[in-house]
Structure 1
Amino acid sequence: MNIPLVDLKMQYYTIQNEIKLAIDSVLERGRYVLGPETERLEATLSKYTGTTYAIACSSGTDALLLALLAIDLQPGDEVISTPLSFFASSEAVSFLKGKPVFVDIDPETYCMDPAQIEAAITPKTKAILPVHIFGQCAEMDPILEIAKKHNLYVIEDACQAIGATYKNKKSCSMGDLGVISFYPSKNLGGYGDGGMVFTHNEDLFKAARDFRTHGEYPKQFKHKRIGTNSRISEIEASILNVKQKHIDAWNQKRRDLAQNYDRLFSENNLRSHIQIPKTGSNNQHTYHLYLIQTAPKESLQKYLAERGISTGNHFPKPIHHLDCYEGQYAHQSFPIAEGFCEKSVSLPMFPELTFEQQETVVRNIKVFFEKR
């Protein structure tokens, strides 16, 4: 039995008739950019997240850029974030000539540790960028309190956490701005790239919307700002309008699968060999990824691959160890994030995964440790 890390085709087969009708309706309408499908997606997801405004754009990375442009990030401005994230969280800051400043992660949730933030604040700090990693929100109350105390913006990177909640508040609804990604493998993924920016602030909304379309909206050929072209296509928006109706059910299936992994690891006495993910007491997790930590990481992955079980190595290095930042953080250490990257393994996780497949995964992990 071959078990993939993720299987996007399986999900497509469950909704293919709806998808084909949605795409065909766009083709029949003949409007392919910033049309009714985009407007409907923005309105639907704004309501879903509990935010006032939403701006659909071409990727999660562009959503981060638009959010940073909206707060007027200037060269030399500092943004406090986490070294455990996809590169884009810091790349967007660096692309605009800002400086990413890192704090270590919480050892249980793997999100930014709020207790370390204030020590990282300097007169150049402009914003805090918590990453809701793997489908779980950061501890937002202390982050928001610190931001208010120091007059800083908060940008939630929820690219892996649409639908996740903190104290019953949806991701993207708590900071000044929030962003998500529609990359195909995300919990709400399209069939190409896409992203969205959320905010309650009208001025930030208008700024992000202008930057999305060459510095102006609506189109008047005046271009009051230097912007970019970050529009989502109508076909992509139509696909997401179909898929968003299923997001809560898919997220619940992911939680069921995570709970089943937890149970199987306990019943097979594997908890002494691996560390399973934990959910913060204030959180509802959406399990974009299910990662374990274990010391013989490479040998376990090789063993599983030989038996047809795919695993992932999503963050082999923390961001401050990436080549483009060589030497910039040489005198800093973030031991929890660094240790996590050394030991973490992503296991198969997607809504169509079966309990039988999970049993096969865990059974093979058990045999691996019995042979050591």
Structure 2
Amino acid sequence: MTTYVWDYLPEYEKEKDDILDAVGKVFASGRLVLGESLRSFEEEFAAYHGGGRCTGVDNGTNALKLALEAMGVGPGDEVVTVSNTAAPTVVAIVSTGATPVFVDVREEDFLIDTDQVESAVTERTKVLLPVHLYGQCADMEPLRRIAGRHGLRILEDCAQAHGARHHGRPAGTLGDAAAYSFYPTKVLGAYGDGGAVLTADEETDRALRQLRYYGMGDAYHVVRTPGHNSRLDEVQAEILRRKLGRLDAYIAARGAVARRYEEQLGDLTGPGRLRLPATNPGNTHVHYVYVVRHPRRDEILEALTAYGIRLNISYPWPVHTMSGFAHLGYAEGSLPVTEKLAREIFSLPMYPSLPTGLQDKVAGALREVLAALDTGTGTERKGG
């Protein structure tokens, strides 16, 4: 058996009746697009975050893109962000015609290095786009001060941070707008693609609702370009409504998995050895993925395959090193911390319904492999 980082089937078995009831409710409603399920989910998702306005869209990438366009970002503008992220963060920026400007991340938490942000701001900068990576928030106070000094707006990438908090405030309420993905692996995941934008600004929300529906104001009358066909499907919206009520339970279950890893592996950590993820002071971590580090990462992953375990790397290639973004002109070595992390990080299985036995298997195999590395006896599996 090969072990993967994520599996939705155990959760589906527990929630099957509710998920199928959600599908049946939509099919029987007589409205399959822009109906009551979407309106209700938007209201409930906003309420979960303490208010504001939510606009459901078809995926997280378009949530970012449409949010940027609603903020007036377009050709000639710059958006300051990180390369240590999933590629869609940058794909969304480029798709507006704007230019992503990268700053490095902090080695201790993988999040945007706020000390580097102000020097990256130019007269063309329009938005700061921090990524709340792996389940915890970036340091937002310095970013808000920088944005205030330069008249910039902040768009939070919350694709990996549903339910996370920063000094008591929910992720998604710390800037001018926030983009979410509901891809199935997410902390709040749909049974297909989905996304949303959260904002407290009425004009931004109005623009988003027009942009997701061809740029139309009234039916058949386009008032804003470019418009898109980017609506959150009624079936996914109804499923997300049901799952939103369980979001805090999902987060608690993820926290329990993280604590168990700490108990199983905490004695193996140290400089030059395994490093486990840490939660910054003031943050509530939701553990979207459980990313660890080791300078001999590739040897470890290869050795684990003998145990029937294949783990993921989030992410093996920094965005600025990808051939598709070569036109941005970032040379190797330009973001040294980001590049170092990409050589060392890997993810252990993390999802709310992760079976304890499977977690024990992974942790036990990892202990054996690390012990072999430490003693220099090789990483071949001993025994059957």
Q: TM-score range by the shorter chain?
A: over 0.9
What is the TM-score normalised by the length of structure 1?
A: 0.96
Q: Which residue of structure 2 lines up, in the alignment, with residue 222 of structure 1?
A: 221
Contact 1:270 1:366 in 2 (8 A): no
Contact 2:106 2:112 in 1 (8 A): yes
**Are positions 1:237 and 2:237 aligned together?**
yes
Q: Which residue of structure 1 lines up, in the alignment, with residue 169 of structure 2?
A: 169
**Are positions 1:370 and 2:367 aligned together?**
no
Letter in structure 1 aligned against 2:221: K
Q: Which residue of structure 1 lines up, in the alignment, with residue 91 of structure 2?
A: 91
Structure 1, unaligned runs of 5 or more: none
What CA deviation, in whole Å up to 9, does each residue of 1:85-109 have, x standing for no partner? 1111111111111110011112122
Q: Partners of 1:44 and 1:104 in 2: how far apart?
A: 36
Which structure 2 residues correspond to residues 1-372 of structure 1 after superposition, within 5 A? 3-217=3-217, 219-226=218-225, 227-267=227-267, 269-271=268-270, 273-326=273-326, 328-330=329-331, 333-372=334-373
DSSP 3-state at the match of 1:229: coil
Contact 1:260 1:355 in 2 (8 A): no
Distance change in 2, residues 1:3/1:332 (3 Å): closer
Q: What is the deviation of 1:368?
A: 0.9
Q: Partners of 2:305 and 2:252 in 1: how far apart?
A: 28
Q: What is the deviation of 1:271?
A: 4.0
Q: Partners of 1:332 and 1:309 in 2: how far apart?
A: 32
DSSP 3-state at the match of 2:246: helix
Contact 1:5 1:349 in 2 (8 A): yes
Letter in structure 2 aligned against 1:137: C
Letter in structure 2 aligned against 1:220: A
DSSP 3-state at the match of 1:154: strand
Contact 1:111 1:131 in 2 (8 A): yes
DSSP 3-state at the match of 2:109: coil
Distance change in 2, residues 1:284/1:336 (3 Å): same
Q: Partners of 1:254 and 1:231 in 2: how far apart?
A: 30
Q: Partners of 2:195 and 2:110 in 1: how far apart?
A: 23
Q: What is the deviation of 1:74?
A: 2.1
Contact 2:269 2:276 in 1 (8 A): no
Q: Partners of 1:320 and 1:365 in 2: how far apart?
A: 31
Letter in structure 1 aligned against 2:330: Y
DSSP 3-state at the match of 2:179: strand
DSSP 3-state at the match of 1:29: coil
Q: Partners of 1:338 and 1:278 in 2: how far apart?
A: 20
DSSP 3-state at the match of 1:274: coil
Q: Over the residues paired in the alignment, what is the CA RMSD in angstroms?
A: 1.4
Letter in structure 1 aligned against 2:321: H
DSSP 3-state at the match of 2:334: coil
Letter in structure 1 aligned against 2:116: Q
Aligned length: 370
Structure 2, unaligned runs of 5 or more: 374-384
Letter in structure 2 aligned against 1:356: G
What CA deviation, in whole Å up to 9, does each residue of 1:153-205 have, x standing for no partner? 10000001110000111111111110110101111111110000000000111
Q: What is the deviation of 1:142?
A: 0.9
Letter in structure 2 aligned against 1:49: H
What CA deviation, in whole Å up to 9, does each residue of 1:334-366 have, x standing for no partner? 111111111100110011113333222122112
What is the TM-score normalised by the length of structure 2?
A: 0.93
Distance change in 2, residues 1:195/1:325 (3 Å): same
Letter in structure 2 aligned against 1:239: I
Q: What is the deviation of 1:264?
A: 1.3
Q: Partners of 1:331 and 1:301 in 2: how far apart?
A: 24
Q: What is the deviation of 1:331?
A: 7.4
Letter in structure 1 aligned against 2:44: T
Letter in structure 2 aligned against 1:126: K
Q: Partners of 2:5 and 2:305 in 1: how far apart?
A: 11
Pick which of 308-317 and 71-80 moved more. Answer: 308-317
DSSP 3-state at the match of 1:79: strand
Q: What is the deviation of 1:317?
A: 1.0
Contact 1:109 1:136 in 2 (8 A): no
Q: Partners of 1:265 and 1:164 in 2: how far apart?
A: 24
Contact 1:57 1:63 in 2 (8 A): yes
